């Protein structure tokens, strides 16, 4: 089974802090994604990557950046956390071989910015 | 987590009954549709998918129906069980959106014992 592991289940940070959310997948998937999930808004795509050192903006990239130095790891960075970034963050991966569209998700990181 | 369920439309069904969860999608050019299930405290899990050249697809206890005329997708769950309680999301994808999934806002399914 594909496993997508997010490093933290819960995080509490202060406004202005730099925050790193880490995601690792063990199935050699080319594609990795970061979403945020908010009540009533569903899942919104922040950034995605189709290859190492490659990144593309999703629908809501403002206030975020990403890093993909290794194929299995995709990091989401909040340069200066703000309260409106309090959310559930979900990492996902997929492979063209299995279908770009079949995303495998991690369990999520609930981030609270105070 | 639990916060996902807030503000969502909710469907309550009796254990053993059939459930029908509906979704209206936005892009008439979408090629492919997926249903995901999200249990409390977990990330979404793939359930079933359907391509735009089909109007019905069956899985184990689940059936997805696609009506392209009215841009409507439904997920039918037969003999609903307590383990089916979750939030269900539909998602659509099209080639012209660089294969990015667009998710609906979700429906919460509650199964009464």
Q: How far is B15 from chain A (nearest CA, A)?
A: 26
* Beta-carbon separation of A103 and B101 below 8 A: yes
Distance CA B37, CA B46 (A): 7
Which pLDDT belongs to residue A81? Answer: 97
Residues near A98 by beta carbon (within 8 Å), at least 6 away in sequence: none
Tell me what the pLDDT averaged over chain A comes to: 92
* Beta-carbon separation of A4 and B43 below 8 A: yes
Task: Give me the residues of B, 7-66, that contact A with CB < 8 A.
Answer: 7-8, 32, 34, 41-46, 49
* Beta-carbon separation of B103 and A92 below 8 A: no
- For testing contact with chain B, the best of A37, A61, A87 (most B CBs within 10 A): A37
pLDDT digits (tens, 9 = 90+) for B32-69: 999 999 999 889 999 999 999 999 999 999 999 999 99
- Averaged over A78-99, what is the pLDDT? 92
- For testing contact with chain B, the best of A21, A25, A43 (most B CBs within 10 A): A43
Measured between CA atoms, the residue of chain A closest to residue B106 is: A42
pLDDT at A112 over 90: yes
Q: How confident is the model at residue B2 (pLDDT cuts 50, 70, 90)?
A: very low
**How many Cα neighbours within 13 Å face the side chain of A15?**
4
* Beta strands A109-113 and A10-13, pairing class: parallel
Return the bridge partners of B86, or none: B109
Q: How far is B107 from chain A (nearest CA, A)?
A: 10
Give A-chain residues touching B91 at CB under 8 angstroms.
Answer: 101
């Amino acid at each position: 089974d594909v496993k997508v592991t997010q490093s933290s289940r819960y995080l509490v940070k202060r406004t202005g802090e730099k925050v790193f959310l880490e995601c690792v997948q063990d199935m050699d998937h080319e594609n990795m994604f970061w979403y945020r999930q908010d009540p009533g808004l569903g899942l919104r795509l922040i950034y995605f990557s189709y290859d190492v050192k490659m990144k593309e903006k999703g629908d809501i990239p403002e206030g975020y950046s990403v890093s993909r130095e290794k194929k299995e790891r995709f990091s989401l960075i909040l340069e200066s956390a703000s309260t409106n970034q309090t959310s559930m963050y979900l990492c996902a991966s997929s492979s063209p071989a299995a279908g770009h569209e079949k995303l495998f998700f991690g369990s999520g990181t609930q981030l609270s910015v105070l | 987590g639990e916060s996902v369920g807030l503000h969502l439309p909710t469907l309550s069904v009796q254990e053993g009954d059939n459930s029908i969860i509906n979704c209206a999608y936005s892009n008439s050019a979408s090629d492919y549709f997926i249903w995901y299930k999200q249990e409390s405290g977990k990330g979404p899990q793939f359930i079933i998918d359907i391509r735009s050249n089909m109007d019905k697809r069956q899985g184990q206890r689940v059936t997805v129906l696609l009506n392209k005329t009215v841009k409507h997708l439904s997920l039918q769950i037969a003999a609903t069980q307590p383990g089916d309680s979750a939030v269900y999301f539909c998602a659509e994808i099209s080639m012209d959106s660089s294969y990015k999934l667009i998710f609906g806002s979700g429906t919460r399914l509650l199964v009464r014992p």
